[in-house]
Amino acid sequence: MPEQSEEPWGVFSLTAASNFALRCAELSRQDGHPTEPLCDIMTTLMTELWDRNFSQSEIRDAFAAAVGHLPRYAAGEERRSSVSSEPFTHF
């Protein structure tokens, strides 16, 4: 297995996104959340990105591009499955 510093950036990116999505799914299943958990998470993510010196335009453009890719990835399905909140190995 390669040293961590030898891993390609894409692997780190995929791992971070996968871990973040899994945690979002876990939070959304918790009882007693007063509002839409995903909306709260995304709002906080956007402000955290801005706090890390990404511009509003960069954040907005990246979010819009990601949402634009979703229909192609999802192949017309609204939701993957009832078990997709479990860890998923991409590689």
The mean pLDDT value for 9-20 works out to 91
84/28: higher pLDDT: 28
Cα 37–Cα 48–Cα 82 angle in degrees, nearest 5:
30
pLDDT band at residue 32 under the 50/70/90 scheme: low
Burial 30-44 (b: 16+ CB within 10 A, else e): eeeeeeebeeeeeee
Please tell me the distance from the alpha carbon of residue 67 to that of residue 90, in angstroms, as a whole number. 20
Whether the full predicted model's pTM is greater than 0.75, yes or no, is no
Query: Does the pLDDT value for residue 61 go beyond 90?
Result: yes
Mean pLDDT of 47-66: 96
Amino acid identity for residue 45 in this structure: L
- Residue 57: what are its φ and ψ, rounded to 5°? -65, -45
For residue 60, what pLDDT is reported? 96
